[in-house]
Structures are given as C-alpha cells and as structure tokens.
Structure 1
Amino acid sequence: MSLSLPQWGQWMTLILIAIALGMDAFSLGVGLGLRGIRRSRALMISGVIGMFHVLLPLFGMGLGRYVSTLVGNLAAIVGGGLLCFLGVNMLVQGFRGSAEGTMLHHNSFWGMMLFALSVSLDSLSAGLSLGLFHSNVIGAALLSGVSGGTLGILGMAAGRRAGTWIGEYGEILGGAILLYLGVQFLW
C-alpha cells in the first residue's frame, strides 16, 4: 500500500507529536532513575504511562472532533494555538529545571497512577488539537502510547546511568518540536 505525500506528512507529524509528548515522560523518568528504581517497577510505570498516553489523546481527539464541528474554520487556528501553548509550556518547564521537583511517590498504586497521569496530561491537550484537524485517531493514540511508554523507560534507564541534564534537555527538545508544529499549523 502506497501513501500519498499528504498522508506521509500527516504520519510524520503524528510521529513528531508523539515523540514530543513522550519527552515529558522521558524527563521525569530520568528523575526517577536518578533516585534509583528497580527494573520491574520501571517497566510497570512505563506501561501505565503508555496506557495514559493512549487513553487521554483518544478522549481529547473525540472532544476535538466535536468542537471542530462547532467552530468550523477556526479549528486549525485553535489546534495550532494549543500546540504552541504546550510547546512554550514545556520549554519554560525545561529551562526552569522543574523535572526534578515534581517527583511523586511512585511506589504505591495511586502514586504510580498520579505520576503516569501527570506526565500524560499534555497528551489530552494534544489529542484535542489533533481532533480539531481530524487526524488518524487510532494511529495517533497508538503512536503516543508507544512513544510515552518507551521514552519513559528510556528516561528511567538513562537516569540510572547519567546526570540530571538529560531530563532538562529532553523536555526542551519536546517543547521545541510542539512549538514548531503549532507555528506550522498557524502559518
């Protein structure tokens, strides 16, 4: 099956958004890794992060599709504006170094759920934005889940082996990607 140029562009955009959203999980995962975490616990946390990175964008995209029927031509402006906002927010957090100070107690069930939810909330807003553009719902949600879970476990592994600077740069890179894509949608 051959994809047209616009279809390739849409898939590349979805991949970049998924990676950018997963950078938040990477950044906070580095912080967990620095504190020391067992591999089995890291795998469990990354699985929950992946699950939230699937569910929240699905909910957001459903809401976005509904809203796009209400606002019509403003959908592209609203969606691009949301991506820009998320990008700037991630950049500010990355430059402030807030990844270290937001650690939740991940050893309890509810602590793990809150941790995974906290790194996945950006996915809800991005899902809303993607819903406004009527993008591929299942593909976007699965890409987001795989990216969030994978980058979360990679962040925890990197944190066990490296310094704190990796987490800050990861969040800055993710924010820059979202800001760039938002500006492209607005342009």
Structure 2
Amino acid sequence: MTIEHILSELLPLFIMAFALGLDAFSVSLGMGMITLKPRQIFYIGIIIGIFHIIMPFIGIMLGRFLSEQFGSITTIIGSILLMGLGFHIVYSSISHDDEYRSVPAGGSLLLFAFSVSVDSFSVGLSLGIYGARTFVTILIFGVVSMLLTWSGLLIGRRAQGVLGTYGEVLGGIILVGFGIKLLFSV
C-alpha cells in the first residue's frame, strides 16, 4: 500500500469521525457546565468513545436495508433523549437541591452517550455497504469522539466557572436546543 492510498482511505474516515464527534463536542459544552470532577470528565469521554465504537460497529454489521427502515427513528429517539436530559438539568439547576443534581453517571451517562452516538450508527450502516475496514473505522470514530468530548466538557467547565448556576441552566437549554434541532432535521 502506498502512502497516497492510505491517506485516501483514512482522511475521509477522519473527516467523518470529526463531523460525528462534533455532536458530542457541542452537547458536551452544555454538559460541561454542570460541576464535574476531573475523573467524571475522563469517564464521560471514555464512555462516549466506546459508544462511538459500538454504534458504528453495529451499523456496519447490519448493513444497508436497516438504514432505510430505522434511520429517522433513531434520530427521533436521540433528540427526545437530549431534550429530556436538558430539561432535567435545567430543573436540577433551578431547584438548587444537590440530591437531584444531574451528574452524568450510570443510566443518564449511558443515555447521553447513546444520544450523541446515534448518528454513528447510521454512518456505520452506509460504511458497511461500501466495505470500509471495520476495525480502523470504529477505532478512528471512538478516539476522535472521545477527544472532542473531553474538549467540550473542559471548555464547558471553564464557562460554568464564569457563569455559575446560570451556566448549568444554559447547559440544559443547549441540550434541549440540540434535541429540538435533531427532531426537526428528520
């Protein structure tokens, strides 16, 4: 294999991974405005990276015919999850009750990771048709989304320090906004 061949194969995958990871980055900006510990930021990035490996892998394995049947349904589910998470964050911020603060852990972290990786599933379906190299593709998708998630969370964390509780409300509103945007892009 020549360097040109490798670049012509990997560059489009990096561009796709970056485009898919921008959802995670954007939503992580909002999520980062919740007070998070560095360990939580680390785990959130890892979980989202793992989901960006699992979802396209499943998509690649399922192939083209499922894409036509489930493409818009997965987007609707992802948008509803984002809006629900966003409303929960706004409610938790306004209530000032630390017991109900939305810390992205457990089920809410899995829902968050699923909602930002749904697009990877659809792309995986398309890539499965064209015979993309599965291991390379999912590895690139996972690493790029993990790095973009960490970047978004850290930038959001800085903004939260400046904005305080209003930052958490803004973060929840951002999540709701992205959910609405996804819902109407179907």
Q: TM-score range by the shorter chain?
A: 0.5 to 0.7
Q: Aligned letter for 2:114?
A: L
Q: Report the equivalent of 1:116.
A: 113
CA distance change for structure 1 residues 124 and 103 in 2, over 3 Å: closer, same or farther?
farther
CA distance in 2, matches of 1:3, 1:132: 25
Offset of 1:34 from its aligned partner?
1.6
Report the more deviating stretch, 15-24 or 28-37: 28-37
TM-score normalised over the length of structure 1: 0.65
Q: Report the equivalent of 2:167.
A: none
Q: Report the equivalent of 2:158.
A: 161
Offset of 1:106 from its aligned partner?
4.0
Q: Secondary structure of 2:3's match?
A: coil
Q: Is the 8 A contact 1:28 1:103 kept in 2?
A: no
CA distance in 1, matches of 2:125, 2:58: 8
CA distance in 2, matches of 1:130, 1:32: 30
CA distance in 2, matches of 1:103, 1:30: 16
CA distance in 2, matches of 1:123, 1:103: 25
Q: Is the 8 A contact 1:56 1:120 kept in 2?
A: yes
CA distance change for structure 1 residues 9 and 102 in 2, over 3 Å: closer, same or farther?
farther
CA distance in 2, matches of 1:42, 1:134: 34
Unaligned runs of 5+ in 1: 69-74, 172-187
Q: Is the 8 A contact 1:26 1:156 kept in 2?
A: yes
Offset of 1:10 from its aligned partner?
2.1
- After TM superposition, list the pairs within 5 Å mapping 1:29-40 onto structure 2: 29-40=28-39
Question: Does residue 1:142 correspond to 2:139, yes or no?
Answer: yes
Q: Is the 8 A contact 1:46 1:152 kept in 2?
A: yes
Q: Report the equivalent of 1:16.
A: 15
CA distance change for structure 1 residues 103 and 59 in 2, over 3 Å: closer, same or farther?
farther
Q: Secondary structure of 2:54's match?
A: helix
Q: Secondary structure of 1:34's match?
A: coil
Q: Identity, % of aligned pairs? A: 32
TM-score normalised over the length of structure 2: 0.65
Q: Aligned letter for 1:41?
A: Q
Unaligned runs of 5+ in 2: 90-101, 161-169, 179-186
CA distance in 2, matches of 1:136, 1:3: 17
CA distance in 1, matches of 2:134, 2:88: 31
CA distance in 1, matches of 2:27, 2:142: 16
Offset of 1:136 from its aligned partner?
1.4
Offset of 1:132 from its aligned partner?
1.3
Deviation sequence 1:93-149 (CA, Å, 0-9, x none): 9xxxx8x94776444411111111111111100111111111111111000000111
